[in-house]
Every structure is written in structure tokens, then in C-alpha cells.
Amino acid sequence: MPRVVVDVMLKPEILDPQGQAVANALPRLGVSDVASVRIGRRIEIEFTGEPDLDRAREIADKLLANPVIEDFTVHVVDADETAGAHS
């Protein structure tokens, strides 16, 4: 069953202290060529019928993202592309 994926990211101008903390830990892994890390959230929605992008946008705008601090994008993926699928 195809799903709608909603990606939520903090707006570029909003400080992401979690991302900074991860970036600051990378040198301890021996990684020195990462300029920055930003952390967001991926949400997969499965509709009872066909995937409905407009409905997903409405859900994202009202609940999944806070438009004051976050941006979101939506797209449809096949079931085998979702996070829980094993290849």
C-alpha cells in the first residue's frame, strides 16, 4: 500500500541544538568533513484508501508541523520504500 511521507524540518533560521550536538560529536568518530547537521522528523501516513496528498498537507499543517518554527514537504512512496520495509 503506498504511503504519504511527511518530512518536517526546523526552518533554516531556527537554531537546532540537537543537530549541533550531533555535529560536535562527529570528530570523536574521526569524521572531520561535516559542516553542519540538522535534525528533522519523518512521518509515514497510510490512508484507508488511495494516498491523499492534499489531506496529508492539511494534517501536516494543523498537527504534524508547527508553521511558526517548522517547514514540511509531502510525497507519496511505494510500500517497499517506507522505513519499516526490508529489502
Enumerate binding residues for another protein (CB under 8 A).
13-15, 17-18, 21, 63-64, 66, 68-69
Indicate if the alpha-carbon torsion angle 48, 50, 55, 59 is positive or negative: positive
Cα→Cα distances 60→12, 14, 34, 37, 83, Å:
18, 19, 30, 23, 19
**Cβ nearer to another protein, comparing 2 with 7:** 7
Q: 24 vs 78, which CB is nearer to another protein?
A: 24
Q: What share of the chain is helix, strand, coil (3-state, %, to 5)?
A: 30, 25, 45
- Write down the least CB distance from residue 77 to another protein, Å: 21
Please report how close the Cβ of residue 5 comes to another protein at its closest, in angstroms.
16
Comparing CB distances to another protein, the nearer of 17 and 30 is: 17
